[in-house]
Structure 1
Amino acid sequence: MSSPEIAPQRDSVIEQHSIDYVPSSERHGKVWHQGPFWFTGNFVLPTMVAGFVGPAMGLSVGFSVLAIVLGVGFGTFFMAFHANQGPRMGLPQMIQSRAQFGSRGASVPFAATVFVYVGFLVFDTVLAAQGIGLVLPDNKLFWYPLLIAVSIVIAVVGHDLLHFVQRWLTYALIVVFAILTVVAIVHYSSNPLVEGAPAADAGWNTTAFLVQISLAAGYNISYSVYVSDYTRYLPAKVPAGKLITAVYAGATFSAVWLMSLGSILASYIPNPDPILALREVGDLLFPGFGLIAVMVSVLALISIMGVNAYGAMLTGTSAVDGFKKVRPTVGLRVIGLTVVGIATLIVALLIPDDYIGSFNNFVLLMLYFLVPWTAVNLVDFYFVRRGGYAIAEILKPNGIYGYWAWQGVVAYIVGFVAMIPFFSTSFYVGPVADALGGADFSFAVGLIVAGGLYVLLARTIDHDAEAAARTASEAELEGTHR
């Protein structure tokens, strides 16, 4: 049985909403659309790069894939449960954090989230330009601004175009990469190892196994900051179980598939480059198929760049609104996206050529900053307030949730500090991680400490006052949109 669908009232192809509430009269879409959206959203080359790590550290393909399955399965669990917040609250993902942190207290997770979005935009831009450079002149000063501009145009049109593009790219990606994966497995399992290939010395490595789990988990946990942005237009009463399952299935399947393919390539190709590795394997089928695979991957990168630009704009606008009330107009969205684009271009031009090493550190940093936030946000939604919020008050910087909600801020800070001894990066290894040979358990510590502490601190919340505000909020929101 399909989920309920309400015909939206839209006068323009360009999305009109931003960080504001989406009223019931404009809710639309189907639950199953979330599956292909998150499949394509995760089926991009940075995902494959995350699978290079295990083999590079001496882990065999089998153990690398096992670590990926465990990490992705764990990380996506948290990401998928954010999906239910969108239709219940009708708000983008990060502005919901005001209920736990306050309109200004949310600045720290907001800043970390913008860092995530811009970081992914940078890596996507670099990879997409590298792919295009296989067939056209490789000129960063031309391709970087053009690719970023295209992503901004997609994000200006907004939510529905992003869903449409992601959904239809799913079919092309499945066909092309199913063929590519079969070719890789058949070829590498039946041919001698290339000299210098990591598979020659690969086996069990405890540190590598744990690092691969952490990277895989952190990679999908990072998508938590996106989820409600793309579920908030669904009708409020869509089945929670079906919605969470659709998001979980799409994001898990694509991440496990592409990271595992990355592990295969990294095991048999010395010092693999994601673009060149794709072309090399694809051309084993017939000359030119590798280029087809790369070009399809470039399209997926451009699409997810639009998703990242859109999310960065929403989060940045939410941050500004906490200090100075803004009107979420289309014009403001264009300005916000332009700022995001300029920042992305500057970083992309400055990033070192060894971006794969930078990418691994980036994923870990995402994990460190986002884990305490996702713990607090999910615990509040499912266990403390149980989905009951005064939405109109969230949209007011000085509303009932205040500028600073000390419970969430304290839980976040303590959770982050508790993770520090477990950090393991190329530039810092905490004492516990060092004692464990570089293994990184910080995500588990952050989830438990931040989430557990918030449950205790949340006992001081005045739920009676919030219930009265919630009743007034419902009348105010739907009344103003009739």
Structure 2
Amino acid sequence: MTAAEPTTDGSYRDRLVAVEPGGNEFIAEADRHGRPSQLLWTWASPNLEFATIFLGVLAVSYFGMTFWQAAAGIVVGAGLGALAHFFLSARGPQLGVPQMVIGRLPFGFKGNAVPSVLMAITAGVGWFATNSVSGAFALSTLLGIGPLLALVLVVAVQTALAFFGHNLVQAFERWAFPVLAVIFAITAVVIMGKADLSAPAVEGGVGGVGGFLLTVGAVFGYVAGWAPYAADFSRYLPATVSPVRTGLFAAAGLFSACTILAIVGAASVTIVTAATDNPTDAFTSSLPGWLAAATLLAIAIGAVAANAINVYSAGMAFVTTGVKLPAHIARALATAFFGVAGFLIAWWALADAAASYEAFLLLIAYWVGPWLGVVFADQYLRRGHRVDGFLYDRSYTNWPGLASFLIGLVVSVLLFCNQEKFVGFVVRAVPELGDITFFIGFLLAAGCYLVLCRSKIESERVAV
């Protein structure tokens, strides 16, 4: 029960143009570097992109919210997601391992393969394809080239960044941040100035409490969707840094970028524009020509910033499932695989880019909600424990943790899911609930874990 931790060898540290060696090993002190403040742009840059803007568009156009109702739902959903990110990022420097390796504590080594696969697919295929499509549309409009060629260019850049690994990804987020922040700040001022913030809700939307909860759920799904990556980008920080500062900078970057751009997206719907099948073109059509071009460039850069992180962490999660690859290039090989898979899905999605975005966001929340419930319940029960001996022990099991996750996921979906293809049994009777699957899943999984795993974890405290 005290397996030795594989560690990095100190050769990577802060090198930029070098393939990050290995996969999910513990980061040795010789490789530690950086400051908590860098997490501000690490998590702001990938959210200064069109997928964030479209959250607000969904709230007004599809969920039937007024601008102010949408803004309130966006703040609540983003706040809850950023709070989760705070706690998970804060733990990274202390444990020095990726987020999904930490997940071996509540799920066991083998059981952890279930959320790891879910995360790898969500990030490396789902989010990768979603962001690649928005980036491709923006680049296509900006350069006057075909969407497929634009997609190839976007995918090539973001996969190359992720293939090299942590340091180059972090550097790109830092370089992209001032460009994205300035362009989107100007765009936000122009759009807010033209928007009719007192416009009535659109007809045919969900509206009411149900629409508000759908807004909260979709935004939470987007923001909390980054939670399974949190420690991936704080684990290289020195173990001596402040956990509070680490968590605050990570959460602040995530919350500020998501709330501001999603609210701008909600405002943009109130501006009358010509109909178009290109969502990025629709968003920029009310802007002056020079600013529209700059915004399209920012959307493309933001897509690359987001997907460099998505495909990097997808590769990390895939390695954490226990699949055996050559140790020195394990993460890089997995990253290349998800780059190809994500490209194929994005190519298929070019024909109808926005059709399933709402469903995708809620589906993320469905599994991330109970996953967070289990992870936080485990962190609470293990407070003050040493956990390093369990993280790489292939014999370590915690099947009640996986059972808690599955109970929270299955029961919450069956009762409270509100999707086009399936409506939960409770929602059928009380449709005004909207979709609160993620809340119920979180609470149910956390409660089950506290009941089922308390004695096991207490016995492990003695063993350590």
Structure-2-length-normalised TM-score? 0.89
Q: Is 1:407 paired with 2:413?
A: no
Partner of 2:312: 310
Q: Is 1:178 paired with 2:190?
A: no
Runs of 4+ in 1 over 6 A off after TM superposition: 200-204
Partner of 2:83: 77
Distance in structure 1 (CA, Å) of the matches to 2:384 and 2:269: 44
Distance in structure 1 (CA, Å) of the matches to 2:182 and 2:350: 33
Q: CA deviation at 1:38?
A: 0.8
Distance in structure 2 (CA, Å) of the matches to 1:375 and 1:200: 36
Aligned residues between the structures: 446
Distance in structure 2 (CA, Å) of the matches to 1:276 and 1:304: 20
The unaligned stretches of length 5 or more in structure 1 are 1-7, 470-482
Distance in structure 2 (CA, Å) of the matches to 1:462 and 1:245: 29
Q: Deviations over 1:61-101 (max 9, x none)?
A: 11111111111112221122110221111111112111111
Q: Contact conserved, 1:148 with 1:345, CA < 8 A, in 2?
A: yes
Cα 1:134–1:451 shift into 2, 3 Å? same
Distance in structure 2 (CA, Å) of the matches to 1:221 and 1:306: 18
Q: Is 1:42 paired with 2:39?
A: no
Partner of 2:447: 452
Q: Contact conserved, 2:400 with 2:453, CA < 8 A, in 1?
A: yes
Structure 2 residue identity aligned to 1:207: G
Q: Contact conserved, 2:48 with 2:302, CA < 8 A, in 1?
A: yes
Partner of 2:416: 422
Question: Which residues of 2 match residues 319-398 of structure 1 at below 5 A?
Answer: 319=321, 321=322, 324-330=323-329, 332-351=330-349, 353-381=351-379, 383-386=380-383, 388-398=385-395
Cα 1:289–1:341 shift into 2, 3 Å? same
Q: Deviations over 1:369-421 (max 9, x none)?
A: 1111111112212x1112634435422322xx23xx11211110111122121
Q: Deviations over 1:247-291 (max 9, x none)?
A: 1111111111011011011233466754113422331xxx22111
Q: Contact conserved, 1:76 with 1:252, CA < 8 A, in 2?
A: yes
Q: Contact conserved, 1:282 with 1:291, CA < 8 A, in 2?
A: no
Distance in structure 2 (CA, Å) of the matches to 1:467 and 1:160: 39
Distance in structure 2 (CA, Å) of the matches to 1:200 and 1:372: 34
Q: CA deviation at 1:122?
A: 0.1
Distance in structure 2 (CA, Å) of the matches to 1:166 and 1:20: 23
Q: Deviations over 1:101-127 (max 9, x none)?
A: 122211221121112102111011111
Partner secondary structure for residue 10 of structure 1? coil
RMSD, aligned α-carbons = 2.5
Match of 2:173 among 146, 160, 166: 166
Cα 1:201–1:423 shift into 2, 3 Å? closer
Distance in structure 1 (CA, Å) of the matches to 2:116 and 2:184: 35
Partner of 1:93: 99
Q: CA deviation at 1:203?
A: 11
Q: Is 1:432 paired with 2:434?
A: no
Q: Contact conserved, 1:85 with 1:387, CA < 8 A, in 2?
A: no
Partner of 1:26: 31
Q: Contact conserved, 2:367 with 2:438, CA < 8 A, in 1?
A: no
Cα 1:266–1:277 shift into 2, 3 Å? same
Distance in structure 2 (CA, Å) of the matches to 1:396 and 1:423: 36
Distance in structure 2 (CA, Å) of the matches to 1:370 and 1:201: 30
Partner of 2:4: none
Deviates more, 1:432-441 or 1:102-111: 432-441
The unaligned stretches of length 5 or more in structure 2 are 1-9
Q: Deviations over 1:317-337 (max 9, x none)?
A: 111x2xx5445313x333212
Partner secondary structure for residue 138 of structure 1? coil
Of all paired residues, the percent bearing the same amino acid is 24
Distance in structure 2 (CA, Å) of the matches to 1:387 and 1:114: 30
Cα 1:442–1:200 shift into 2, 3 Å? closer
Q: CA deviation at 1:463?
A: 4.3
Cα 1:26–1:103 shift into 2, 3 Å? same
Distance in structure 2 (CA, Å) of the matches to 1:444 and 1:202: 22
Structure-1-length-normalised TM-score? 0.86
Partner of 1:3: none
Q: CA deviation at 1:147?
A: 2.2
Partner secondary structure for residue 281 of structure 1? coil
Distance in structure 1 (CA, Å) of the matches to 2:433 and 2:269: 21
Cα 1:249–1:166 shift into 2, 3 Å? same
Q: Contact conserved, 1:80 with 1:224, CA < 8 A, in 2?
A: no
Distance in structure 2 (CA, Å) of the matches to 1:88 and 1:81: 12
